[in-house]
């Protein structure tokens, strides 16, 4: 019964398809969503015959749904683990842009400096008040409110969580042992919000809250961000420049699966990351497959110009050249797509 | 002594009156806020537009409204024949063991949380089809609609006087035409009410759509593609940090409230019209 | 009646065989529609059972139900924080909604002017028809700030010696979720309670009044004891709705898989965790554990609803015999 209905619907859909724009569906990371929504809107003008429907449900969702085969592409700021990649060996990571995870807060301090120990302490639940001695020591002269800290984290499977917990695992042995890092972890404390949107929303509405979100979300909402003490011992504010510097010294592996948290360099912001689109090495659908590859080519070239105005750092030159080679190696039903040389 | 009893009576009456007030406060607050915050943004552009990229001004829920209608329509195509058919079966032949089993199961199904039905639709439609789609959302909605439809249809068909049926049969009309033309037609007002109520409930659902129809920022009329819905858009707007999206959440809520309200009013009128004063 | 008869279709002069075929087709169609309901129920159980089996196998049913950890990194999945959150928020909802619903029903049925009945009944029905995402929106922007700035400080000051009302006052948490559920289940409880009150034989009440009882005494002596089981059934029906409610709860409960004694703390509920994580779980075990949570939710709801129906049925049957 159900099958006939579905088959009938599919047939009707096939008839209607002629002449309509192709819809390519993707889901995943909320971290780059402000940029991706801009990209897909702009690309709609470049290629009106192709539409990209992107739903920012979280990186975990991007990974699960491309594994289940329910989307044409996934998006994640967390590189797939070996185990996840083992389930979908034909998936390629395509880095699109760099972003920073910032600690944003809802408290009356115009500026705030945090050390790795304080961040870990807050998220482990050990530092529970804003006027804690450790926070005061890092912020001489700053008036700290005598309030409880409301810790906010993600409730969904998240690449932002992966980046943040990856950072905490590097800087805090206790965190590494007790919690570890992944797209979803067992939080020792705190409230959960859905997506970067949800976490930002909760921080904004909850006095005393602290949360970790992508730079663009804090900036666009006028929320303050903490400067973090980096690997070199300096306090660095999250900016496009300090994000780019975090990626400057990176040794990029062939499959792009790399972490640049706690990077070296005097001006490097310590919680930065590439974000990826996940696509099939060989696309099964000829139309959507080619559309996807052409979009990616556009994104790493023309698209990069939209990054900085939205507070993302463009890909380093060397990475763009490598991604070009990767895109040329992608195929649609076994055949490569001819791509224009880089301008 | 008398005074104390009087006072107790008065106090309890006061408390119960207070309960009426307490119950109405949240309703008043909710309605007032949805209207006062939602009305300024409820422009034609909002109702006919589609969502704008983050940071861009404007944007609307037109594609979500269309998506909700599309899915509710598909869901009705699935649910109405099954629900009404099962209801007639229960009314006419439902006194045997099979009828009792179906009635019991329908009651049980009616209280299954909608999110659970969403998981079922995901497993049965999304995974085999290979992608999210309006039809998957519609299946989840249909699962939600069938049990109350069946129960309501049964009740209304049972209200039809047996004499009417017997008269028709005695005139030599075949049983199936009697059922369809006499019994169902007489109960049609009630059945329409039940359908409208089921549709109103389905249109307001969010949870099962999150992983069946997903969402779509474009217009879509194809049943096999991911589809926006008014409710999922309201949810996304509401949890976002952007003030302009919050405003859109309230306006979307007002639009949804109007839609559901109109369906409920229609349901009332359908019941009043067709059944007439006598049979109630 | 006469008018109805006039509407009867004239019998088609069709040969007997085709008539019988029509009848058979019709009845097969009806049976199929009825059977579809059984099929759907079977499908629900089959799908959930199959999806949940790996989690029950890997973790063990007991360990899964009693486990307090929800740790996707190490693959430990325990359902207890979600079961706890679901039960606590539902309990708050019942404690708040039940007295209000009963008071309201008594006022409408026994005390207040009859003129008041239709508008209030209409308002309560409206409350029942508001989609849950709108409750969530209202909860997030109106209820939560109010709970944070008014309710929690007040409760903390008056009853702060109870562990129930301690800890940071965030607004999001069990209390807000419970309150919003209370608003949502109020119409259910009120509607069923009013039905139960209506079914009480007037002779019972008139008897009490004739003996010189005040109205409240009449309610206490004659109405409440008779309606008790029915009201309990109404409560259980409301509880059934509270348990399965997803969107409004996930927007205000705080989404933290923890167990806290304090109602001010953030928690999690079964439907909320499914809504948040089902489309996003990256390991098969995680996904299976979520399906297992759905199965637990299904089980709890079914047991409660069956109990509620039996209670309502028993009351009306007893009353039927009495009158």
**Distance between CA atoms of C303 and C238, rounded to whole angstroms?**
13
Find the mean pLDDT for residues C74-93. Answer: 93
A2-97+274-336 homologous superfamily: Periplasmic binding protein-like II (3.40.190.10)
Give the start-end residues of each E strand in A82-236.
91-105, 113-114, 150-154, 191-193, 209-214, 227-229, 235-236
**Distance between CA atoms of C306 and C233, rounded to whole angstroms?**
10
Residue B20 shares a structural domain with residue B89: no
Number of domains in chain B: 2
Contacts of C170 in chain A (CB under 8 A): 148, 150, 191, 206, 208-209
pLDDT at A9 over 80: no
Q: Is A4 exposed, middle or buried (0-12, 13-18, 19+ CB in 10 A)?
A: exposed
pLDDT of residue C195: 87
The fraction of chain A above a pLDDT of 70, given in percent, is: 94
Nearest to C131 by CA among B254, B149, B25: B254
Contact: A192, C256; criterion CB under 8 Å: yes
Report how far apart, in Å, the C-alpha atoms of A97 and of each of A272, A300, A313 are: 11, 8, 6
Per-residue pLDDT band at A271 (split at 50, 70, 90): very high
> Which residues on neighbouring strands pair with residue A282, listed in sequence order?
A331
Contact: C37, B102; criterion CB under 8 Å: yes
Residue B64 shares a structural domain with residue B13: no
Sign for the pseudo-dihedral over CA of B99, B105, B108, B109: negative
Q: Do the beta carbons of residue A52 and residue A24 sit within 8 Å?
A: yes
Q: Please tell me the distance in Å from C265's CA to the nearest CA on chain A.
A: 9
Give the contacts of A9 (CB within 8 A, at least 6 positions apart).
B74, B135, B223, B224
Nearest to B121 by CA among B108, B105, B138: B138
3-state secondary structure of C205: helix
The structure tokens listed for B182 are 């006499």
Model confidence pLDDT, tens digit, residues A315-341: 999 999 999 999 999 999 988 888 876
Model confidence pLDDT, tens digit, residues C238-252: 998 899 999 999 999
Contacts of B115 in chain C (CB under 8 A): 244, 246, 271, 274-275, 294, 297
pLDDT of residue A12: 46
pTM of the model: 0.88
Q: Length of chain A in residues, anyone?
A: 343
Selecting from B9, B102, B168 the residue whose C-beta is nearest the C-beta of C214 gives B9
The structure tokens listed for B4 are 């104390």
pLDDT at C7 over 50: no
Contact: C280, A193; criterion CB under 8 Å: no
Per-residue pLDDT band at C8 (split at 50, 70, 90): very low
Residue B186 shares a structural domain with residue B111: yes
Which CATH number do you get for residue C226?
Answer: 1.10.3720.10
Closest residue in C to A151 (Cα–Cα) = C170
Phi-psi group of A56: left, alpha or beta (phi > 0 → left; psi -120 to 50 → alpha; rest → beta): beta
Q: Which of A74-88, A168-182, A206-220, B160-174 has the lowest mean pLDDT?
A: B160-174
Nearest to A92 by CA among A301, A278, A250: A278
Packed helices B134-159 and B62-93: angle between N→C axes, nearest 10 degrees: 40
The structure tokens listed for C89 are 């928020």
Give the contacts of C3 (CB within 8 A, at least 6 positions apart).
none
Give the contacts of C80 (CB within 8 A, at least 6 positions apart).
C65, C66, C67, C68, C259
pLDDT of residue C16: 59
Residue B26 shares a structural domain with residue B101: no
pLDDT of residue A14: 45
Model confidence pLDDT, tens digit, residues B25-56: 999 999 999 999 999 999 999 999 988 887 77
Question: What does residue A212 show for φ and ψ, rounded to 5 degrees?
Answer: -110, 125
Contact: A38, B55; criterion CB under 8 Å: yes
Residue B163 shares a structural domain with residue B261: yes
Contacts of C130 in chain B (CB under 8 A): 30, 204, 257, 260
Per-residue pLDDT band at C112 (split at 50, 70, 90): confident
Find the mean pLDDT for residues A164-170. Answer: 96
Contacts of B129 in chain A (CB under 8 A): 6
Model confidence pLDDT, tens digit, residues B181-237: 888 888 888 899 999 999 999 999 999 999 899 999 889 999 999 999 999 999 999
pLDDT of residue C168: 85
pLDDT at C277 over 80: yes
Return the HEC string of chain B: CHHHHHHHHHHHHHHHHHHHHHHHHHHHHHHHHHHHHHHHHCCHHHHHCCCCCCCCCCCCCHHHHHHHHHHHHHHHHHHHHHHHHHHHHHHHHCCCHHHHHHHHHHHHHHCCCHHHHHHHHHHHHHHHHCCCCHHHHHHHHHHHHHHHHHHHHHHHHHHCCHHHHHHHHHCCCCHHHHHHHHHHHHCHHHHHHHHHHHHHHHHCCCHHHCCCCCCCCCCCCCCCCCCCCHHHHHHHHHHCCCHHHHHHHHHHHHHHHHHHHHHHHHHHHHHHHHHCCCCC
pLDDT at A18 over 50: no
Contact: A184, C286; criterion CB under 8 Å: yes
Find the mean pLDDT for residues C32-49. Answer: 93
Q: Please tell me the distance in Å from C278's CA to the nearest CA on chain A.
A: 8
Q: Please tell me the distance in Å from A88's CA to the nearest CA on chain B.
A: 15
Task: Please tell me the class of the A100-272 domain.
Answer: alpha beta
Find the mean pLDDT for residues B161-189. Answer: 86
Find the mean pLDDT for residues B258-280. Answer: 73
Report how far apart, in Å, the C-alpha atoms of B43 and of each of B58, B201, B255 are: 10, 25, 10
Residue B37 shares a structural domain with residue B51: no
Q: Which value, to the nearest 10 degrees, does the dihedral of the CA atoms of residues C181, C186, C192, C198 take?
A: 170
pLDDT at A13 over 50: no
**Distance between CA atoms of A32 and A311, rounded to whole angstroms?**
10
Query: For chain B, what is the mean pLDDT?
Result: 90
Q: Do the beta carbons of residue A43 and residue A54 sit within 8 Å?
A: no
Find the mean pLDDT for residues C276-296. Answer: 90
Closest residue in B to A17 (Cα–Cα) = B222
Q: Which value, to the nearest 10 degrees, does the dihedral of the CA atoms of residues A272, B238, C187, C114 take?
A: 150
Which H or E run contains A27?
Answer: strand A22-28
Q: Do the beta carbons of residue C175 and residue C147 sit within 8 Å?
A: yes
Strand pairing of A209-214 and A91-105? antiparallel
The fraction of chain C above a pLDDT of 70, given in percent, is: 92
Q: Please tell me the distance in Å from C195's CA to the nearest CA on chain B.
A: 16
Contacts of A38 in chain B (CB under 8 A): 53-55
The segment with the largest mean pLDDT, out of B155-159, C117-121, C143-147, is: C143-147
pLDDT at B9 over 70: yes
Selecting from A1, A184, A191 the residue whose C-beta is nearest the C-beta of C172 gives A191
Q: Please tell me the distance in Å from B170's CA to the nearest CA on chain C.
A: 10
Number of domains in chain C: 1
Contacts of C169 in chain A (CB under 8 A): 148
Residue B30 shares a structural domain with residue B150: no
Q: Return the DSSP state at A139.
A: S
pLDDT of residue B279: 39
**Distance between CA atoms of C203 and C223, rounded to whole angstroms?**
11
pLDDT at C84 over 50: yes
Q: Do the beta carbons of residue C259 and residue C80 sit within 8 Å?
A: yes
Q: Please tell me the distance in Å from A333's CA to the nearest CA on chain C.
A: 27
Contact: A187, C254; criterion CB under 8 Å: no
Nearest to C173 by CA among C87, C237, C268, C102: C268
pLDDT of residue C19: 67
Residue B18 shares a structural domain with residue B57: no
Report how far apart, in Å, the C-alpha atoms of A228 and of each of A213, A217, B66, B228, C162 are: 14, 18, 47, 40, 39
3-state secondary structure of A51: strand
Find the mean pLDDT for residues A26-34. Answer: 91
Q: Does A163 touch chain C (CB under 8 A)?
A: no
**Distance between CA atoms of C267 and A237, rounded to whole angstroms?**
33
Contacts of B264 in chain C (CB under 8 A): 125-126, 129
Sign for the pseudo-dihedral over CA of C145, C151, C154, C156: negative
Residue at token pair 């969530």: C136
How large is the ipTM? 0.91
Q: Does B177 touch chain A (CB under 8 A)?
A: no
Residue B195 shares a structural domain with residue B58: yes
- Domain housing B151: 46-279
pLDDT of residue C204: 86
Query: For chain C, what is the mean pLDDT?
Result: 87
Per-residue pLDDT band at B65 (split at 50, 70, 90): very high
Model confidence pLDDT, tens digit, residues C141-183: 999 999 999 999 999 999 988 999 988 888 999 999 999 999 9
pLDDT at B82 over 60: yes
pLDDT of residue B231: 96
Per-residue pLDDT band at B275 (split at 50, 70, 90): very low
Contacts of C124 in chain B (CB under 8 A): 23
pLDDT of residue C24: 86
The fraction of chain C above a pLDDT of 90, given in percent, is: 51
Closest residue in A to B221 (Cα–Cα) = A13
Roughly how many angstroms between the first and final C-alpha of chain A, as a whole number?
54
- Domain housing C106: 80-256+296-322
Q: Please tell me the distance in Å from A278's CA to the nearest CA on chain C.
A: 14
Nearest to B119 by CA among C107, A7, C292: C292
Model confidence pLDDT, tens digit, residues A31-71: 999 999 999 999 989 999 999 999 988 888 899 999 988 89
Contact: A156, C281; criterion CB under 8 Å: no
pLDDT of residue A299: 96
Contact: C282, A208; criterion CB under 8 Å: no
**Distance between CA atoms of B207 and C278, rounded to whole angstroms?**
11
Higher pLDDT, A327 or A10: A327
Which H or E run contains A53?
Answer: strand A50-55
Residue C56 lies in a domain: no
Q: Does A210 touch chain C (CB under 8 A)?
A: no
Say how many C-beta atoms besides its own lie within 10 A of residue B106's C-beta: 25
**Distance between CA atoms of C176 and A191, rounded to whole angstroms?**
14
Q: Does A192 touch chain C (CB under 8 A)?
A: yes
Residue B122 shares a structural domain with residue B232: yes
């Amino acid at each position: 019964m159900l099958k006939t209905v579905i088959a009938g619907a599919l047939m009707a859909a096939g008839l209607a398809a002629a002449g309509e724009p192709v819809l390519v569906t993707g889901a995943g990371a909320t971290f780059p969503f402000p940029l991706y929504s801009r990209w897909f809107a702009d690309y709609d003008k470049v290629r009106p015959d192709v539409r990209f429907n992107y739903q920012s449900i979280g990186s975990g969702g991007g990974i699960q749904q491309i594994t289940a085969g329910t989307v044409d592409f996934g998006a994640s700021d967390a590189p797939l683990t070996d185990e996840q990649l083992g389930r979908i060996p034909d998936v390629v990571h395509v880095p699109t842009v760099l972003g920073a995870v910032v600690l944003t807060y809802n408290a009356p301090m115009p500026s705030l400096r945090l050390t790795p120990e304080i961040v870990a302490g807050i998220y482990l639940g050990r530092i529970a008040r804003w006027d804690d001695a450790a926070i005061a020591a890092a912020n001489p002269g700053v008036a700290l409110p005598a309030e409880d800290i409301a810790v906010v984290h993600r409730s969904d499977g998240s690449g932002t969580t992966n980046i943040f917990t990856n950072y905490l695992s590097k800087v805090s042995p206790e965190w590494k042992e007790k919690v570890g890092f992944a797209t979803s972890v067992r939080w020792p404390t705190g409230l959960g919000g859905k997506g970067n949107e949800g976490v930002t929303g909760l921080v904004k509405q909850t006095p005393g809250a602290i949360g970790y979100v992508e730079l663009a979300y804090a900036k666009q909402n006028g929320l303050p961000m903490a400067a973090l003490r980096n690997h070199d011992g300096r306090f660095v504010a999250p900016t496009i420049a300090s994000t780019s510097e975090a990626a400057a010294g990176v040794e990029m592996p062939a499959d792009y699966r790399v972490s640049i948290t706690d990077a070296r360099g005097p001006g490097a912001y310590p919680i930065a990351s590439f974000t990826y689109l996940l696509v099939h090495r060989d696309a099964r659908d000829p139309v959507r497959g080619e559309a996807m590859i052409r979009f990616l080519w556009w994104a790493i070239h023309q698209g990069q110009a939209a990054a900085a105005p939205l507070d993302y750092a463009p890909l380093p030159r060397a990475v763009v050249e490598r991604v070009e080679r990767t895109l040329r190696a992608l195929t649609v039903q076994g055949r490569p797509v001819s791509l224009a040389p880089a301008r | 002594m008398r005074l104390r009893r009087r006072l107790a009576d008065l106090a309890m009456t006061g408390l119960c009156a207070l309960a009426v007030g307490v119950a109405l406060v949240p309703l008043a607050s909710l309605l007032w806020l949805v209207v006062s915050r939602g009305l300024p943004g409820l422009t034609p552009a909002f109702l006919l537009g589609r969502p704008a990229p983050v940071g861009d001004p404007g944007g609307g829920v037109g594609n979500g409204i269309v998506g909700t209608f599309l899915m509710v329509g598909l869901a009705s195509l699935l649910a109405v024949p099954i629900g009404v058919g099962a209801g007639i079966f229960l009314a006419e032949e439902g006194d045997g063991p099979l009828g009792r089993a179906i009635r019991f199961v329908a009651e049980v199904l009616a209280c299954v949380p909608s999110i659970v039905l969403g998981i079922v639709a995901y497993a049965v439609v999304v995974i085999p089809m290979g992608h999210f789609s309006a039809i998957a959302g519609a299946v989840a909605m249909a699962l939600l609609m069938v049990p109350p439809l069946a129960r309501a249809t049964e009740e209304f068909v049972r209200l039809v006087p047996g004499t009417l049926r017997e008269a028709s049969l005695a005139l030599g009309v075949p049983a199936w035409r009697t059922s369809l033309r006499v019994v169902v037609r007489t109960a049609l007002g009630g059945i329409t009410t039940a359908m409208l109520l089921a549709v109103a409930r389905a249109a307001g659902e969010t949870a099962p759509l999150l992983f069946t129809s997903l969402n779509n920022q474009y217009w879509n009329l194809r049943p096999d593609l991911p589809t926006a819905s008014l409710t999922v858009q309201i949810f996304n707007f509401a949890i976002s940090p952007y003030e302009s999206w919050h405003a859109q959440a309230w306006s979307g809520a007002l639009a949804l409230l109007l839609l559901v309200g109109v369906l409920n009013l229609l349901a009332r009128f359908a019941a009043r019209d067709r059944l007439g004063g006598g049979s109630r | 009646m006469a008018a109805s008869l006039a509407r009867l279709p004239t019998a088609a002069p069709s040969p007997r065989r085709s008539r019988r075929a029509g009848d058979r087709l019709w009845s097969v169609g009806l049976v199929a529609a009825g059977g579809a309901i059984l099929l759907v129920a079977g499908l629900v159980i089959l799908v959930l059972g199959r999806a949940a089996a790996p989690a029950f196998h890997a973790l063990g049913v007991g360990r899964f139900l009693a486990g307090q950890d929800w740790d996707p990194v190490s693959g430990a999945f325990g359902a207890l924080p979600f079961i706890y959150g679901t039960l606590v928020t539902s309990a708050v909802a019942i404690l708040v909604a039940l007295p209000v619903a009963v008071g309201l029903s008594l006022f409408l049925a026994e005390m207040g002017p009859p003129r008041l009945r239709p508008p209030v009944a209409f308002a309560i029905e409206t409350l029942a028809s508001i989609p849950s995402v709108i409750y969530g929106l209202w909860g997030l922007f109106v209820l939560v700030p109010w709970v944070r700035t008014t309710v929690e400080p007040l409760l903390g000051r008056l009853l702060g010696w109870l562990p129930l009302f301690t800890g940071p006052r965030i607004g999001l948490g069990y209390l807000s979720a419970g309150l919003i559920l209370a608003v949502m289940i109020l119409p259910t409880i009120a509607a069923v309670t009013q039905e139960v009150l209506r079914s009480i034989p007037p002779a019972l009440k008139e008897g009490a009044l004739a003996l010189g009882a005040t109205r409240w005494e009449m309610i206490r002596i004659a109405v409440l004891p008779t309606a008790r089981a029915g009201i309990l059934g109404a409560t259980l029906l409301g509880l059934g709705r509270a348990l399965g409610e997803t969107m409004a709860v996930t927007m205000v409960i705080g989404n933290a898989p923890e167990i806290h004694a304090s109602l001010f703390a953030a928690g999690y509920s079964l439907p909320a965790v499914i809504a948040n994580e089902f489309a996003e779980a990256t390991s098969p075990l995680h996904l299976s554990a979520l399906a297992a949570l759905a199965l637990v939710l299904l089980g709890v709801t079914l047991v409660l609803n069956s109990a509620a129906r039996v209670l309502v049925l028993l009351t009306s049957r007893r009353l039927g015999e009495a009158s």
